[in-house]
Amino acid sequence: MGKTKRIGILTGGGDCPGLNAAIRAVAKTSIFGHQIEVIGIEDGYEGLINNKTRILQTKDVSGILTQGGTILGTSNRANPFAYGEEKKDVSEEVFKNFHNLKLDALICVGGDGTLHIAHELTQLGMPVVGIPKTIDNDVEATDFTIGFDSACAVATEAIDNIHSTAESHHRVMIIELMGRYTGWVALYAGVAGGGDIILIPEIPYKIDKICQEVKRRGKFGKRFSIVVVAEGVKFEDKELVVKKRVKASTDQIRLGGVSYKIAQHLEELTGLEARVIILGHLQRGGKPTDFDRILATQFGKKAVDLALAENFGYMSSLQHGKITSVPIESAIRNLKKVNLDSPLIEAARGVGTCFGD
Ligand code: F6P
């Protein structure tokens, strides 16, 4: 203890509500509690590669608790081990810049991609601490990531608002939510918003089952249905629907549009009218929920504690309601998928939600 004088912080990957709350927590804990200087690194690892940094003082982080996005900017294209379209290894530059900045520790706030890079840097000797964030909630070894709850709040409100128009027009409304290869957002928002059918990548579905359910509801006087679809479900359980590919990105695939295919089949097979809403980046916008503000504040404080204790290669984590820490390595081994025995799925099935299986 006492050796740490300067901490760097960066936010990498897709933005989400709660990042600013984490930056604020790291900066205030460091400055107030330990007289540590905090260096904000701009645009994720891009700032460390190209030396884009600024000192963060308390005035810079004051008033940002409630703001979405990240005051530091972010990037999901700046991998120091495979930079740019030529995928060049610029990690030496990163180490040089890190030392020139006289940093004693680097706090990396990010999801799967950012934490992978953080782990690689740790293995090469950089003193790194992680904070898990992503609306997808797909990071292992933590119950929740920053941003997930806020994304679910936006998605739930959208599902709530879709109900009246679905009912008035007697339509099937298909709402497609983000989440990449996992169904956390679709499951949580789908249950919270009372989706009649929820499709997630973890549960293979059959289009016939969805049609049967829509028709069954009709027999009971429900002439509309809300189908909540995770962007990562495969069409007819075979093919991921890719919207575009981003060459310079760690994961090049951008999902989106499976709902249009499902809608077309539903219309053909049931004769009912279907409409598609792709909620998209709205799920990453807006203010963080109280849960995310609290989680980010605790994760930020914990990350500073880890840096002070020189527990490098670790990240803040929430397990069974308690803030703790885990090796970053344990968080990136696999994507955290929805557990099919989860009480939430059981409860959803209990109230008649169809998962298309
Ligand atoms: O990982 C967060 C996320 O919002 C995913 O849910 C989504 O698939 C992806 O990022 C979208 O990426 P981009 O912002 O590059 O379009």
- pLDDT value of position 237: 76
User: Is this structure's pTM higher than 0.95?
Assistant: yes
Residues 146, 264: Cα–Cα separation, whole Å: 35
- pLDDT value of position 86: 87
Q: Which atom number of ligand 1 is nearest to the Cα of residue 136?
A: 6
Residues 249, 220: Cα–Cα separation, whole Å: 48
- pLDDT value of position 16: 98
Q: Are the C-beta atoms of 113 and 54 separated by less than 8 Å?
A: no
For the stretch 131-189, pLDDT in tens is 999 999 999 999 999 999 999 999 999 999 999 999 999 999 999 999 999 999 999 99
Within its chain, how far is the Cα of 70 from the centroid? 14
Q: What is the CATH T-level fold of the domain 151-284, as seen in this structure?
A: Rossmann fold (3.40.50)
CA angle 108, 114, 117 (to 5 degrees): 95
Residue 13 CA to ligand 1 centre (angstroms): 8
Within a 10 A sphere around the Cβ of 25, how many other Cβ atoms? Answer: 24
Select the CATH number that applies to the domain covering 6-146+288-331 from these four: 3.40.50.450, 3.10.105.10, 3.30.930.10, 3.40.50.300.
3.40.50.450
Question: In b/e form, how buried is each residue of 237-271, taking b as 16+ CB within 10 angstroms?
Answer: eeeebeeeeeebbbeeeebbebbbebbebbeeebe
| Ligand 1 probe mutation, 114, 178, 252, 335, most atoms within 8 A of CB | 178
pLDDT (tens place) for every residue of the chain, 357 residues total: 568 999 999 999 999 999 999 999 999 999 999 999 999 999 999 999 999 999 999 999 999 999 999 999 999 999 999 998 889 999 999 999 999 999 999 999 999 999 999 999 999 999 999 999 999 999 999 999 999 999 999 999 999 999 999 999 999 999 999 999 999 999 999 999 999 999 999 999 999 999 999 999 999 999 999 999 999 999 987 889 999 999 888 889 999 999 999 999 999 999 999 999 999 999 999 999 999 999 999 999 999 999 999 999 999 999 999 999 999 999 999 999 999 999 999 999 999 999 999
Q: Where are the domains of the chain?
A: 6-146+288-331, 151-284
Q: Which atom number of ligand 1 is nearest to the Cα of residue 179?
A: 6
Q: Which residues line ligand 1 (CB under 6 A)?
A: 14, 76, 111, 134-136, 178-180, 231, 254-255, 284
- pLDDT value of position 85: 81
Same fold across 6-146+288-331 and 151-284: yes
- pLDDT value of position 3: 85
- pLDDT value of position 84: 86
